[in-house]
Every structure is written in C-alpha cells, then in structure tokens.
Homo-oligomer: A and B are copies of this chain.
C-alpha cells in the first residue's frame, strides 16, 4: 500500500507522479506523517510493494482544472492558500483512511498552492486498486472530505 501527498507551488504538471517512489515493505504505511516541509513544496510519500502492484487492475485519476468563471464572473486564475503542515498531514490521514476503508493499493494526491491560471490543473487524485467500483466510491468520498476538512482555501483573481 502506498500514500503519496504533494502540495506544490503553481499549476500541476500534465505528467502524473509515479506511484512507486522506492519499493519498500508495506509496513511503511504505519510510518508517522512527515511534519516538516520546504517552502517550495510539501511532499509526503509512503511506499508500495512490488507484489501489491501486481494486484492493480484499475487506476482512476481525477484532475481538477481551474474554470474561467467563478460564480458567473470571469477569472484569470485561482490562488490557493494551504495551512501547513496541517494541510499535508490531514491529506495524508485522509488518504490512509480511504485506502484502508476501500481496500485500495495506492493513493497519490497533488494539490497546488499559489496561483493557478484558468485552464490549468490545481488538483490530481490517482487511485490504484484491484477493481473499479471501490476506486470510484473512494474518489468521491476523498474529494468530499477534502473539501470539508483539509485547510486549503481558494481565492478568485478576476480579470
């Protein structure tokens, strides 16, 4: 099982992060959340084992894109503010909880902070699992709970 959380400045790259950073025993899931983070990005990874990867039958990726209008007004960008380290820690806890509850294999979360222009990606959630139904249910629950509980705020920057 693997959990990888990254909050980084500006729009997300169009490339997904690899789920597997360093193959390691599944016990790493019990490692404590990293409390520190640099100014430029916060990045928290737990690792996935090779046997677990062989069970992956479905990968579902959700990408949130900044839309050109917000509540009827045209915007140039959204600016995201993350309260760290709580934002990274709560995303990590949420990911672990969802991973266990839905019996997933890996969750990778990327979220922007700072300015993201209209049309660019600000959020990506990738879920690896054996079957599809769990992944879709997990994705829906993850995003609902993230919006409610993870201290990241967005502010519109109007044209």
Chain A interfacial positions (CB closer than 8 Å to B):
53-65, 67-69, 118-119, 130, 132-133, 135-136, 139-140, 143
Count of this chain's copies in the oligomeric assembly = 2
- Choice from B56, B60, B64, B130 contacting A62 with Cβ under 8 Å: B60
A55-B67, A61-B63, A67-B130 known; 19 other A-B pairs, CB under 8 Å? A53-B119, A54-B69, A54-B118, A57-B67, A58-B62, A58-B63, A58-B64, A58-B65, A59-B62, A59-B63, A59-B65, A60-B61, A60-B63, A62-B132, A62-B135, A132-B140, A132-B143, A136-B136, A136-B139
Q: At the interface, is chain A mostly helix, strand, loop or mixed?
A: mixed
- Choice from B61, B64, B136, B140 contacting A57 with Cβ under 8 Å: B64
Residues of B within 8 A of A135 (CB): 62
Among residues of B, the one whose C-beta sits closest to the C-beta of A55 is: B67
Among residues of B, the one whose C-beta sits closest to the C-beta of A64 is: B58
Chain B: minimal CB distance from A133 (Å): 7
Inter-subunit contact B57/A65 (CB<8 Å): yes
Inter-subunit contact B60/A60 (CB<8 Å): yes
Chain B: minimal CB distance from A117 (Å): 12
